[in-house]
Chain A
Amino acid sequence: MIVDLLERGGDLVEQADVCVIGSGGGGAVAAAELASAGLDVVVLEQGHHWTARDFTQREDEMFPRLFEEGGMRATRDGSINILQGRNVGGSTVHNLCYAFRAPPAILRMWREERGLEQLSDEAMAESFARVERNLKVKPIRPDEINRLNQIVRSGTEALGYSGFVTKHNREGCVQSGYCILGCSYDAKQSMLVTYVPRASAAGARIYANARAERIEADGGGTRRVLGSVVDLDGAPRASLEVKARAVVLAAGAVASPDLLLRSGLGGPHVGRHLHLHPSVMAAGFFDEDIHAYRGIPQSYYVDEFIDLERDPHRGYVLMPISGFPVLTATQMPGFGRDHYRFMRDYAKMAGLLVLLHDRTSGRVQPDKSLSKPRIEYALERADARQLAEGLVHCAEILFAGGARRVVIPFLPEALVLERGADLTQITRRGIQQGRIPIASTHPQSTCRMSADARRGVVDSWGEVFDVPGLFVADMSVFPTSLGAPPQITTAALADRTSQRIIARRSEFSA
């Protein structure tokens, strides 16, 4: 049962075995697994319940529907744009479906350096397999690789670099290319069409437009979640209260620590250790029409510049990227006639981004507005150097793939590189926040997992230290930056946490 609280009207008063906060990549998994095991589950989702019928493939309509702060969420200084979902299904509704397990070297590092012995490859394998089965993860077929990704592959191989065609979670994909605006064909196997319906069918009561604002966990076995029924721009319309014996917090790496801090729970590490996987991009211009916006947006992955076996703490990957006209126009340098010189060649444009396995550690804190936490993140110099180095490789790959010109969108003046140009110009300009567009789609680690209560927020099962029955099940539990697209790892850790709750069901069921 999925209930639109705005449409229903009135306050919400509920009681359940488990209250799950958030219905995205972690929350939906927890809700489905727990409800399927017979637990009585209530899900609170602050976003609206949009479905394929609402996905119009228009930027001006979809960004306000699907993204936190209408897509404007940013670090406090405005230098890093952070894209997070705000809808039933969370960020899985707009993500681009890379389907990777956590790299074995990262799991090993979490075991060896963080003492998380339970996160063995064998222990995680069952959760990974279950999640991949439910999300229908499969290799992308050669005939599904669009021209953008073909070009990146060609350039990568010409230079002898390492890259590969990835797996994804799509079924019956029609290759429209509008994944980031929500799949109008229900081909993307997001939480919206997989775990959320499964949770609903198993009896979970899923409430949309329901914002949790405080968790009370003072003594006894019952937890209380208090909050508001909110309209589409976050204004409160009514109140809500859910009593439950367990709470699974899965609101994402910004909202989860914000809620814990507002509730005075979780200890001194809550909100700290924020990693963003920050990314910067280069745009290549070709003689041919590429129409990068059509077809599966990301199917190739360049891993030449990350060797986690050798050093699990650093490196970066390169990923093809495309945008629709509004987004592209805002990224292109200058204005007027100069700007149009780039936009005129929109159809001939291919983007390649650097996604950094970052060591920089930022912070999330509550601010005046409930929907706009304060996010601080100042790139460490070593990370800035890696991003600049990555842009050099983006440029050389795009040139090797046939680009006649590559643009690095530095502000206020872009760097326009013609074929044969000295690419060290990029590293000489360097990466400075506010001087180049930087984006993040993977905020993580703000409620990090640790074997030691003095070093983290949750234990190896996702349970908050000193608050029995309060679990965290989203990307905020990653002990460090993951260094890979996080969708499958997030879901697998949530699955694992759910199995733990099920094993202890006598504590949590009425």
Chain B
Amino acid sequence: MSGEPPTRCSPPRDASLLAPTRRGFLRLLGSSAALVALARIPVATAAPRGVAVGNSALPFFDSGQRRILASVLSRMVDTGGDSIDPGDAVLTIDALCASLDPTLTEPLPVLLQLVEWSPVLFQLRFARFTNLPPEEQDDCLRDWMTSRLELRRIGFAALKNLSMLGWYSQEASWASVGYAGPLIGRGSVPPSGAGNGSGA
């Protein structure tokens, strides 16, 4: 191996830009590590059916939080055609969060409140996220997505991944992306070498 000391390649951070706001943000969130983990949620999904894990029978979010989540989800997933009903997707997310290690999900209610009040906190506008028209909700989410604050970007990733999980776990969503779904129980599998979905 080379004797040259390795140089590291991490994202640049402008501490002078981040420091004051970030401290307050950290206080609000309580646990950034948990959010980091939630940002990896692409593959962390709902509890297995028929298997009791943690408190999965109990709802995780209260009705107000579910309303914010539904509002976020409606903007995260926009298939352009019929307006989507986020109800089932929110229930899926709720079940997931109820089943996960509490240290992972602890910051989520706070994160939703931050999104709800982000027009006030980050855009100096006296409005709630859920009361904004769709285009302005998109602007708000875009502000999170492109924020210089790493934790806001992580928060955005967590909400996006939860939304995608909630939506694309619904069988009703699969046709819109051309996914034929599982083959189990259909009594057939693709013909050898087809690899084209024709067996679905």
Contact = CB atoms under 8 A, between A and B. Distances in A.
Interface of A: 54-61, 63-65, 67, 69-74, 77-78, 81, 83, 141-150, 174-178, 184-185, 231-235, 289-291, 293-296, 313, 324-327, 329-331, 334-337, 339-340, 343-344, 346-348, 359-361, 369, 378-384, 411-413, 431-435
Contacts of B177: 325, 343-344, 346-347
Contacts of A329: 164, 167-168
Given A336-B141, A346-B178, A432-B10, 10 more contacts: A56-B182, A64-B45, A74-B37, A142-B193, A145-B193, A178-B183, A326-B168, A344-B79, A347-B197, A431-B9
A108 to B, nearest CB: 16
A360 B180 CA distance: 40
B179 A175 contact: no
A145 to B, nearest CB: 7
Contacts of B37: 69, 72, 74, 78
Interface in B161-187: 161, 163-165, 167-169, 173-174, 176-180, 182-184
Given A175-B194, A294-B190, A378 B44 contact: no
A498 B125 CA distance: 68
B78 interface: yes
B1 A147 contact: no
Contact of B42 (A78, A313, A331): A331
B91 interface: no
Interface stretch (B20-28, B47-55, B107-115, B116-124): B47-55
A179 to B, nearest CB: 13
Contacts of B38: 72
Interface string B4-22: 0011111110000000000
B147 to A, nearest CB: 8
A384 B9 contact: yes
Contacts of A291: 178, 180, 195-197, 200
A294 B200 contact: yes
Given A63-B45, A291-B180, A326-B168, A232 B53 contact: yes
B194 A295 contact: yes
A78 B47 contact: no
Given A56-B182, A63-B44, A74-B37, A233 B174 contact: no
Given A336-B75, A433-B11, A325 B174 contact: yes
13 contacts: A64-B48, A77-B36, A141-B193, A144-B193, A146-B195, A177-B195, A232-B53, A326-B42, A330-B161, A340-B79, A348-B178, A381-B8, A412-B146
B83 interface: no
Most buried by A among B36, B75, B195: B195
A313 B138 contact: no
B193 A335 contact: no
Chain B interface, >50% SS class? loop
B44 A337 contact: no
A381 B195 contact: no
A142 to B, nearest CB: 8
A216 to B, nearest CB: 28
Interface of B: 1-2, 6-12, 36-49, 51, 53-54, 75-80, 92, 96, 99-101, 103-104, 138, 141, 145-146, 150, 153-154, 156-157, 160-161, 163-165, 167-169, 173-174, 176-180, 182-184, 189-190, 192-197, 199-200
A77 B153 CA distance: 13
Given A324-B179, A325-B173, A339-B76, A81 B43 contact: yes
A378 B5 CA distance: 13
B55 to A, nearest CB: 10
Nearest to A327: B42
B200 A337 contact: no
A432 B9 CA distance: 6
B196 A294 contact: yes
Contacts of B1: 313, 359
Contacts of B47: 64
A330 B145 CA distance: 14
Contacts of B150: 434
B194 A294 contact: yes
B196 A59 contact: no
Contacts of B164: 326, 329-330
Nearest to A184: B184
Nearest to A59: B45
B179 A347 contact: yes
Given A78-B37, A379-B9, A380-B8, A175 B53 contact: no
Contacts of A60: 45-46, 92, 96, 165, 169
A178 B168 CA distance: 17
B6 A360 contact: yes
A344 B77 CA distance: 12
A296 B174 CA distance: 21
A331 B104 CA distance: 21
Contacts of A433: 9-11
Contacts of B75: 335-336
B61 to A, nearest CB: 18
B42 A340 contact: no
A459 B200 CA distance: 51
Most buried by A among B100, B146, B196: B196
Contacts of B41: 72, 330
A440 to B, nearest CB: 12
